[in-house]
Amino acid sequence: MISALIGCTNTVTIRIAKHMKLDFELVRIDAEGIFGLAEDIEVLFPEIALMTTAKADALQKQLWEMQQKLSIFYCGSRISQAAGTKVKEKWNIVD
């Protein structure tokens, strides 16, 4: 499930950046998940943190707009959240 989120983040982010004509390159996507082990747990991964590192020659406003579009078109995160997983995203833009 976590690797699917990483793959979905990669694919959708690159497609949005190309659509917006941004000079954007993903450097790394890391993920950490809290795994529920109790027998009566309803959500297998109560929380997943995605840390995306990228290079971008774009204005902060453009990056914010890209992140907003990602939340709309990012099916992996939407499915996880519908299942009860809290997905936290952190972005790090490097030179």
Tokens of 21: 């004509």
pLDDT of residue 5: 86
pLDDT digits (tens, 9 = 90+) for 7-65: 988 999 999 999 999 999 999 999 999 887 767 678 888 899 999 999 999 899 999 99
Handedness of CA 15, 21, 24, 30 (dihedral sign): negative
The class level of CATH for 2-94 reads alpha beta
Task: Kindly indicate the confidence band of residue 83, based on its pLDDT and cuts at 50, 70 and 90.
Answer: confident
Task: Kindly indicate the confidence band of residue 90, based on its pLDDT and cuts at 50, 70 and 90.
Answer: very high
pLDDT of residue 43: 83
pLDDT above 90: residue 2? no
What are the domain boundaries of the chain?
Answer: 2-94
